[in-house]
Amino acid sequence: MENKGPQPEPYMVFEPPATPTQKTDKKGMFFDFNLGLRVSVPEGNYRVRFIDRTSHLTVYDAKASGVMAISSKRFFVNFRLEVWEEPPENDKKKKEGKLIFSHDYNAKGKKVLLKFAGRALGDMLAWFPYAEIFRQKHQCKLYVIVDKKYEEILKPGYPELHFISNEERPADLYATYYIGLFAPWDDRDLQPVDWLGLQAHAAYILGVFPGEERVRLVPSRNAKKIRPQKPYVCIATQATAQSKYWNNANGWLQIVDYLKKQGYRVLCVDRDKVVENGIFGNTIPYGCEDFTGNRTLQERVDLISGADFFIGLPSGLSWLAWGCNVPVVMIVGFSLPGTEFYTPYRVQQFHTCNGCANDQRNEHNYEDFGACPHHRGTDREFECTRCITPEYVQDVIEAVRKDISS
């Protein structure tokens, strides 16, 4: 049996309608924006132009006959499409071409689809708020494709969006855009810039203002039933890469003990109690209450939203806590400020190597759990978080508690 190798994830598969969906008043001529700008023209003496209306640049200008012309850019561009009818080449009078069709991008009232990456919780929660911003800006009928496991926590906060499965496609789609981190990073057809931070990345793909936007997460009606009565703190200690962990051996143990002495119950809301990957093994800290396991994301929203504050890593559950409007203490080393959402309780030191995730020279391999790009296999491995002391985290926790009580 032929080994075809790893298959791309569904969100990486671009599946636009086979032919453009928008009719024109010209026979045999159709257009849409479902894989960049596309236009099909019948046989004849035509010239097609794609113009970026924002920058006033003509980015494509070529003869066309019986073909479909497609822009190279797949992200949002404020396009103008022009189709000209050219005089015959043997025309001795050398008449100028005649503009026979034009269209300026206008999604108002039309069906638009956004297809989101489904792999990482943090990415999804970072990017999704820009769907609603795009809908409001263009006043379109917006459809979204997200991994099914995220629908239950996103739907309540975004009632104006239409959630569909990866197999569904609304008829007469005007435009489609794909939101993801596309390797190689310098592919300028799928993303306009190097990633400047998770939220800004999505904003630039969709052509909206790259200001920080908090995802809307809504506790369920049952939230109060599952929350402890005593004041509590939620923590999340597991991650999808060793570089995201707090790699200080005494860190979590000391912090859990400290929190309990302050009168808090400490609930660990990670999915996994133990994470094993190759030579790496990570377990939740001794002394915390085990709220791990096969809980739904909505249950975690319900738990976290009732906590006094949350302590975590640069990972999905920190984004979840931020969406719950809970103060977030984020312990981080592998990324730089601005990569994740802003929190005044970011815990990061700059005396050692740090920020490798933002180094565009590193081609990220998500399957390489133990990657430490600059110091792998040396005594400096993961020094970015090994050198974050429990005392530093305690000081930040005290700042949170002071702000809560004031």
CA 201 to each of CA 191, 211, 212, 215, 275: distance values in angstroms, whole numbers, following the listed order: 8, 11, 11, 15, 29
Structure confidence by residue, pLDDT tens digits, 304-324: 999 999 999 999 999 999 999
* pLDDT value of position 384: 97
pLDDT of 341 over the 50 cut: yes
Q: Give, for 157, the enclosing helix (H) or strand (E).
A: none
User: Token match 């019948």: residue?
Assistant: 42
Domains plus CATH for the chain?
Answer: 13-104 (2.60.40), 111-206 (3.40.50), 223-405 (3.40.50.2000)
Rounded to an integer, the average pLDDT of 128-138 is 98
Q: Using the 8-state DSSP alphabet, how is residue 288 labeled? A: S
Task: Report, as residue numbers or ranges, the catalytic residues.
Answer: 123
Q: Quick one: pLDDT at residue 11?
A: 61
Looking at the DSSP bridge assignments, the partners of residue 22 are 31
Q: What pLDDT does 1 receive? A: 42
Q: DSSP characters for 317-340? A: HHHHHHHTT--EEEE-SSS-TTSS
Confidence (pLDDT) at 92: 59
What pLDDT band is residue 10 in, cutting at 50, 70 and 90?
low
DSSP sequence for 41-62: E-SSSEEEEEEETTTTEEEEEE
| 183 vs 71, more confident | 71
Q: Which whole number is the average pLDDT over 378-396?
A: 97
* Per-residue model confidence as pLDDT tens digits over 202-249: 999 999 999 999 999 999 999 999 999 899 999 999 999 999 999 999
Instruction: Determine what percent of the chain is predicted with pLDDT higher than 90.
Output: 85
Taking all residues of the chain, what is their mean pLDDT, rounded to a whole number?
93
394/234 Cα distance (integer angstroms): 15
As a whole-number percent, the residues of the chain with pLDDT over 70 amount to 95
Q: What is the pTM of this model?
A: 0.93
- Higher-scoring residue by pLDDT: 80, 193: 80
As a whole number of angstroms, the distance between CA 199 and CA 311 comes to 21
Higher pLDDT, residue 182 or 214: 214
Give residue 254's pLDDT: 98
Q: Does position 75 have pLDDT exceeding 60, yes or no?
A: yes
* Model confidence band, residue 4 (pLDDT cutoffs 50, 70, 90): low
Helical ranges in 175-330 per DSSP H: 198-206, 223-226, 251-261, 297-304, 316-323
Integer angstrom CA distances of residue 166 from 127, 144, 146, 199, 250: 18, 9, 8, 23, 44
